[in-house]
């Protein structure tokens, strides 16, 4: 399916620099709507409660102790656990009526990451992998698709091939020891020379098989990345103490700051993960502690992207695999709820300040008004990114598959 050039474009993308001045590459020099678009997903693994975040119902039986506060979208309130995000909400729109057919963590994550339900005969690619495949940045010397932070259920490239799997950053804030040569240049070149001899010997009479392994492609891409100045995108040494404090001195905060730097460098698809949302017991305490981790970095990131004229070229999506039940269980927890949960989406030219759908404040009506299918959400994202969401690719087993089975949401057109 992929030739050498396509692979190198995909395997060579990840980096960024620092603030507005010394940015690396042509992509970093452009800002505003003319800049090529990227996708940034804030992935909340475990199931964020919509009732304790973007769709509170205070004073009702299902609302619990959570209160609501005003936001910068007139007439729109969110949970009081997110005071800083409330001040930046005008940058995005709120969808309160997402629906999914999967209420299990693994299956639900798969559907929300790919737009398709799991099936035994085919592994669908995550949306981020599709963006990297369809809209690669030829100037990148680091991966086109990067995930930041620990993710219990990782994103995959599926039938697109492992060369489009994300490059995973587990400890944001440094490039990692395995990205730098551990020996001096002379010894490194001797090692590479020895590897080349072994590779050539192995390739004799096995040209097709060697090509299938992508061995040399991977080596070439890795070496290009290891010697690229774009690796600075993963490091935070040149960020001010003030900026670091605004994002938060914890793993998720540093991950959001790295994400901003990667966007500045031109990385096409980034996913920053925050685990810990599965609050079957003590939901209000659990969602509250998670909100303290999410609120500051998310608000800072939205403001930072807007101030740096990067929000018009970056779609920001904040989403979980499902929400939490309206009913409060005997353990003061909320269980899995794939019907009528919430997300935030904005940037990339999408309209901001809108609220789509609603849920019953009494919890009697299960189905939300104006339901939004996950596939339609991603058709909207693809359309805005310039990806032909109806395009068919032929999988390695010869099966034609559409990139997306949905249609763009009119209210976000």
Average pLDDT of the chain, as a whole number: 90
Q: What is the pLDDT of residue 23?
A: 44
Whether the predicted pLDDT of 285 surpasses 70: yes
Which pLDDT band holds residue 204 (cuts at 50, 70, 90)? confident
Whether the predicted pLDDT of 202 surpasses 90: no
The rounded Cα 79 to chain-centroid distance in angstroms is 23
Which pLDDT band holds residue 198 (cuts at 50, 70, 90)? confident
Residue scoring higher pLDDT (28 or 13): 28
Closest to 50 in 3D by CA, of 301, 313, 357: 357
- Residue count of the chain, please give it: 413
Q: Going from the N-terminus, what domains does the chain have, and what CATH number goes with each?
A: 4-412 (3.40.720)
Whether the predicted pLDDT of 2 surpasses 50: no
The phi and psi torsions of 233 (rounded to 5 degrees) equal -60, -30
Q: What is the pLDDT of residue 174?
A: 74
Q: 83-120 pLDDT, tens per residue?
A: 999 999 999 999 999 999 999 999 999 999 999 999 99
- CB within 8 Å of 80: residues ≥ 6 apart: 56, 66, 67, 68, 69
Closest to 339 in 3D by CA, of 98, 57, 46: 98
CA–CA distance, 354 with 233 (Å, rounded to integer): 33
First to last CA, the chain: 33
Which pLDDT band holds residue 307 (cuts at 50, 70, 90)? very high
Whose structure tokens read 């970095």? 297
Whether the predicted pLDDT of 3 surpasses 70: no
From the CB of residue 178, how many other CB atoms can be counted at a distance below 10 Å? 9
CA–CA distance, 276 with 290 (Å, rounded to integer): 7
CA–CA distance, 301 with 241 (Å, rounded to integer): 16
Q: What is the pLDDT of residue 152?
A: 86
Q: What is the pLDDT of residue 192?
A: 79
Which residues is 317 bridged to in the sheet?
41, 345
Closest to 218 in 3D by CA, of 153, 165, 139, 149: 165
Q: What is the pLDDT of residue 51?
A: 98
Whether the predicted pLDDT of 9 surpasses 50: no
């Amino acid at each position: 399916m992929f030739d050498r050039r396509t692979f190198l474009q995909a395997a060579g993308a990840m980096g960024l620099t620092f603030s507005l001045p010394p940015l690396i590459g042509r992509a970093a020099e452009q800002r505003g709507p003319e800049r090529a678009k990227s996708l940034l997903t804030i992935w909340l693994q475990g199931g964020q409660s919509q009732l304790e975040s973007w769709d509170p119902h205070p004073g009702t039986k299902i609302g619990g102790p959570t209160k609501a506060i005003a936001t910068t979208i007139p007439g729109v309130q969110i949970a009081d656990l997110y005071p800083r995000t409330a001040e930046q909400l005008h940058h995005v729109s709120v969808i309160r009526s997402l629906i999914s057919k999967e209420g299990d963590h693994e299956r639900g994550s798969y559907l929300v990451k790919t737009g398709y339900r799991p099936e035994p005969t085919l592994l669908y690619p995550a949306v981020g992998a599709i963006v990297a495949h369809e809209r690669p940045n030829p100037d990148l010397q680091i991966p086109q698709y990067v995930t930041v932070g620990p993710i219990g259920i990782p994103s995959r490239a599926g039938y697109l091939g492992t060369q489009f799997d994300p490059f995973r950053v587990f400890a944001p804030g440094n490039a990692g020891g395995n990205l730098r040569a551990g020996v001096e240049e002379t010894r490194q070149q001797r090692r590479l020379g020895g590897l080349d001899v072994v590779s050539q010997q192995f390739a004799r009479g096995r040209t097709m098989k060697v090509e299938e392994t992508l061995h040399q492609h991977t080596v070439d891409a890795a070496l290009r990345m290891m010697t690229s100045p774009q690796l600075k995108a993963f490091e935070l040494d040149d960020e001010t103490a003030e900026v670091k404090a605004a994002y938060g001195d914890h793993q998720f905060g540093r991950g959001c700051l790295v994400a901003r730097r990667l966007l500045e460098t031109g990385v096409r698809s980034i996913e920053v993960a925050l685990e810990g949302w599965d609050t079957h017991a003590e939901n209000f305490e659990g969602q509250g502690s998670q909100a303290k981790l999410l609120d500051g970095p998310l608000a800072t990131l939205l403001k930072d992207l807007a101030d740096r004229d990067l929000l018009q070229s970056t779609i920001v999506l904040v989403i979980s695999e499902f929400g939490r039940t309206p009913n409060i269980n005997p353990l003061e927890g909320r269980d899995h709820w794939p019907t009528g949960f919430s997300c935030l989406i904005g940037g990339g030219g999408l309209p901001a300040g809108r609220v789509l759908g609603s849920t019953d404040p009494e919890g009697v009506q299960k189905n939300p008004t104006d339901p939004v299918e996950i596939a339609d959400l991603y058709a909207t994202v693809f359309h805005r990114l310039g990806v032909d969401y109806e395009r068919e690719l032929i999988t390695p087993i010869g099966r034609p598959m559409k990139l997306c089975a949905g249609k763009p949401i009119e209210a976000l057109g």
